[in-house]
Structure 1
């Protein structure tokens, strides 16, 4: 047994561990073991009987909950196990709210605290009423949405805009316009939610900004503005197969679109920060305020997973509009798109109170290799290594049967000197890999 999100070990009891019990109740439930060290070894507990007698009152008096308290035999020694289920209301300790994140206990603060309290009331930020009126919504955008959604809802075209908004829960029971409706269909959403926009920048270095574009308006407009801004600052080449010509961008546009939609849907709109997109010569970085939901970790994103949208009303509209497919599969499609274009796997991170995804350019594209001064044989060798991990002289000779071994050896040595490839092994066992 190891420590994890729902299990924690303590050598002995201390009052400060009440926050761990509170955190379990605020997250997914869990068990606190008293009498086990960090290695998972059971210890002898002093005054065990008295502690078993006192703990129920201590926990009830400070947290107003009654957990399960029992002894458990581990390694021939009796330890105390305090278990609590996830509770539908917030549990405070010393006026603060804590949660579990992995095997740690963390205080919930600021925007995360507001979202947590809303969730306990079965509400989300995007379902809250705004100060906007129905007249503040753009009927032409709603009509465009109807056209997009008609395949999923054929009767949607005959529905009045007001009835449609009601059916999609974009109007409250009191007939108030929700925050989701403002962001999706508002004429001027930033009048009500100032930071609900994105900033796209082209960077030469971290401090040398060459261009900045602000994407504002409703979320559909922001998506189009961001994509167009990115297209402006990345390269495209044309690949012809038979009679078909395909545009190949530095990064797959479908993957970028998916990542941007994710940032619009999952961002924390309580934050004063904007979505940020930074385009460098060798990578593209997308960041949105708001961490991953507590049910997911970064590794989960690399496989199909359940979806826990921070703004489910916004997510549902993007789904009905056909802009997202099956929920929980977006990140895997992003990874697959990059692999299909022979690009490195994107990097997912939680940083600066938000979530980021970094796309990496193919530095070994024919265009880049030619800019490095490589000849056609060298380009062929590097592209072969990229696809097959390594190359040796035997394979290189098969790729270039009309070229002498001396010339091919000179090509490889030049690539080695330029630190594009590295030599593995010696003599007949020599092969070459990317540096």
Structure 2
């Protein structure tokens, strides 16, 4: 599927076949023109004390994502996560509580710094970490807790913050699916000791490959600068004399962003309110069509305390009479961008084969079988839609392509014997 650098209706938009939606991401004509100027100038290093486009993007990210916090742009969300774990200054061997239902980098980014992930169960009602289960896994070595607002569904921040304060834990928040998300009126980027966003691939705010780190602690921010930014940039901002001395050599990492990525991220940040409103509007319309054509499928409910933002991906629960693989196959055959959600971390080889982590010099505890029932309940029977076709409103008078697609999927499923042999998303028997 083709994507374009400029928004629909502006010069330079790539033509799409009839009936096909423009898939996110795309950027404005102004962003395209700025990128073109950068290419003509030929300076992509951004190795000096500052770069006006990167500085402007960081200021905008602070305003939009984490008001009142210190913000730093990195070259990826994973780089921002690894920098965050290192900048907290946790001792090697410290344990970090993290939900077994989380993106892989949320966990793997801590391993190079000698931190030990302790997988916890998932609250199936929120999709976030189960605080009661996390409490049962505390040890004298526990030093931090990491939350992930997976799929754009907020973790209850009040309970998490109280838990971390009670047990003197650092709080890391991965908001890579949560651009513009708010919990009870407060941006999720304003909670936690350090917060990160991925701004890569087809995230709601994307620079192609970029990440954002935010913190309310000056010392964490300065350590992050020394760990990840060019010497001159760190020296221009760091006050601590010991860190300034270290900044002269750096810490062996080069995670500075490209000015091109800064231009693209800033472009999406400026249009974020419009993007979120469009996605919410499309979600409402599609769920109404789902209720008409496939009433047995139920969207996962929204948390009542989410007061801003939009879902990064949509999830529908299949009834007990259907295999989710069969539902995915029918949706895909009808043109819907559906798949099964990724499996939880405790099923990945890193957590089931101790030889793998040992070969890298990491300590990854093996999870106990059957110890994540909440994660299993959350993922049971789910189908996932990537929503990349939900970033533009329908033109006035145009039929909703989901209307025909969901009707076709319903017809295919109706002709299928209930609970027969499941198939893969390509339609072959499992």
Q: TM-score, normalised by structure 2?
A: 0.22
Q: Which has the higher contact order (CA 8 A, sep 6+)?
A: 2
Relative to its length, the structure with more strand (as a share) is: 1
Q: TM-score, normalised by structure 1?
A: 0.22
